[in-house]
Chain A
């Protein structure tokens, strides 16, 4: 099942610079997208989300961009901090009559922010 893909397994950036994490999806029915951050031995922590009716959502240092025609979303972290070092997962879901459906996750990108 490759409906959500994160093609970069790892990314290393310098503290203070921008981190850009990418995600592609194949199912055009997905209408809600989320980014989660995960540390080892912990559960995914919600970061930011975007509905398909928008192309950008911003929350502090985190901005998510959605390009529906390209079926692509990205997470920008500016400025990057060493505490941002973690695995970042992209996830997508569909709506249904009974509410939000299952999340489909990407494989994750390990971000390392160098001091």
Chain B
């Protein structure tokens, strides 16, 4: 069964550094998403992407964040200058129609 994959599974970085989280969505899906879950909190929406552009973003998704689909298979989330509060699990998801399927997540730890 096709699934969303994410790399790396765990990323440790210093505050102020740039990180890129990578995702390979399910191949025939058209919509791509990033969510995050801070420890002990709800899963929160960050951004959705369709037809090579952002279709929706939350107030969390400020100028420090960007997304890109550099080729036909990858979908990336870049955090330009990480802060301590960016430490969280980051989940990529994709959908063809209504149902979003999630990847296993990347645990980002900012020191």
Contacts and interface: CB of A to CB of B under 8 A. Distances in A.
A44 B102 contact: yes
Interface residues of A, number: 26
Interface of B: 4, 6, 30-31, 33, 35, 42-45, 48, 50, 55-56, 58, 91, 95, 97-105, 107
A43 B103 CA distance: 5
Interface stretch (A68-76, A78-86, A102-110): A102-110
Contacts of B104: 41-43
Contacts of A42: 104-105
Of the candidates A91, A96, A100, the one having the most CB atoms from chain B within 10 angstroms of its own CB is: A100
A32 B104 CA distance: 23
Contacts, number: 64
Nearest to A98: B55
Given A43-B4, A98-B50, A49 B98 contact: yes
Contacts of A105: 42-44
11 contacts: A32-B98, A34-B100, A41-B107, A46-B100, A51-B98, A91-B43, A99-B31, A100-B98, A103-B33, A103-B45, A105-B43
